[in-house]
Amino acid sequence: MLVPALLATSLLYGGMVLCSCDFAAFLFMALPVNVAGPTIRRAFPHFYMFVTLSAATAAGLVWAHDAVAAGLLAPIAVTTLPSRQLLMPAINRATDAGEKARFRWLHGQSVAIKLVHIALAGLAMTRFLTMGLT
């Protein structure tokens, strides 16, 4: 189960980095704002489900071999759901209401959560390598 756990964690890490660091910026560069914004709104619920399922799968696969790595991955799955269900709609409401300061603060919270998730997944992968779990 260690190779599937490493692959699931790698998929999680890569997906989070790609989406967080490139996807949104690319859409806003490639599309008009009135198209990019709604596209992001349609994409991010799927992104959050991807993160939740990938993190839960990786945590489940590694649990028997490294509880610490599982403990790094499981909170990603757990904290992504409130981000999807509460934070993302609040960001959308702030955008719709033209509340720029509120949007910046909420979006900043979202970015901070994603960065912590990326760091946790990176630490889990590092554990796989340094503990010889591959």
pLDDT tens readout for residues 40-49: 999 999 999 9
| pLDDT for the residue numbered 131 | 75
What's the chain's average pLDDT? Answer: 93
Write b or e for each residue in 32-56: b if 16 or more Cβ atoms lie within 10 A of its Cβ, otherwise e. eeeebbeebeeebeebbebbbebbb
* Model pLDDT, residue 128: 83
Is residue 133's pLDDT more than 60? Answer: no
For residue 121, give the nearest of 86, 82, 75 by alpha carbon.
75
Q: Cβ neighbours of residue 16 under 8 Å, at least 6 residues apart? A: 51, 114, 117, 118, 121
Measured distance CA(63)–CA(82) in Å, rounded: 23
Asked if the model's pLDDT at residue 134 lies above 70, the reply is: no
Q: Give domain limits for the chain.
A: 2-130
The region of weakest confidence among 27-31, 51-55, 118-122 is 27-31
Q: Are 86 and 113 in contact (CB under 8 A)?
A: no
- pLDDT tens across 59-105, in order? 999 999 899 999 999 999 999 999 999 999 999 999 999 999 999 99
pTM (global) more than 0.75: yes
Q: How confident is the model at residue 113 (pLDDT cuts 50, 70, 90)?
A: very high
| Residue 1 clears pLDDT 70, i.e. is over it | no
